[in-house]
Amino acid sequence: PHATHSPRSILRLSGPDTRAALASVLESIPPAPGAHIVRFRLAGPLGEHTLPARLLLFHAPRSYTGEHGAELILPGIPALADRVLDALCAVAGVRPAQPGEFTARAFLHGRLTAEQAEGVGAVIGARTSEELAGAARLLSGELGAAYRALADDAANILALVEAGIDFTDQDAVVAISADALRARTLALTHAIDALIGPGARSEPDAQPPAVVLVGPPNAGKSTLFNALLGQERAVASEEPGTTRDALVEPLVVDDSPWTPCSVRLIDLPGLDGTLAPRSAADTAARRAAREAIASAAVVVWCDPSGRFDRPPSDIAPGVPVLRLRTKADLPALGPDPGALAVCALDRRNFAALRHAIADAARAAPGPPSGVPARHRVSLINARAAIDDALAAAERPELAASALRTALDHLGQISGAISPDEVLGRIFATFCIGK
**b (16+ CB within 10 A) / e for 325-363:** bbbbeeebeeebeebbbbbbeeeebeeebbbbbbbbbbb
Domain ranges in the chain are: 8-96, 117-200+370-428, 210-233+242-363
- Of residues 321 and 133, the one with the higher pLDDT is 321
**31-42 pLDDT, tens digit each:** 999 999 999 888
This model's pTM is above 0.75: no
Of 258, 284, 279, 22, nearest to 124 by C-alpha is: 258
* Whether the predicted pLDDT of 369 surpasses 90: no
**146-202 pLDDT, tens digit each:** 999 999 999 999 988 888 776 655 555 566 888 999 999 999 999 998 888 655 544
Assign domain 210-233+242-363 one CATH number from 3.40.50.1380, 3.30.200.20, 3.40.640.10, 3.40.50.300: 3.40.50.300
The sign of the CA dihedral 281, 282, 288, 292 is positive
* Whether the predicted pLDDT of 398 surpasses 90: yes
Fold type of domain 8-96: Gyrase A; domain 2 (3.30.1360)
- What is the pLDDT at residue 427? 43
**205-263 pLDDT, tens digit each:** 457 889 999 988 888 898 999 999 988 776 555 554 455 578 899 998 877 655 678 89
What is the average pLDDT score of the chain? 81
- What is the pLDDT at residue 330? 85
**273-313 pLDDT, tens digit each:** 544 555 566 677 777 788 888 888 899 999 998 888 877 77
CATH architecture of structural domain 117-200+370-428: Up-down Bundle (1.20)
Of the spans 49-63, 192-206, 236-250, 420-434, which averages the highest pLDDT? 49-63
* Whether the predicted pLDDT of 143 surpasses 60: yes
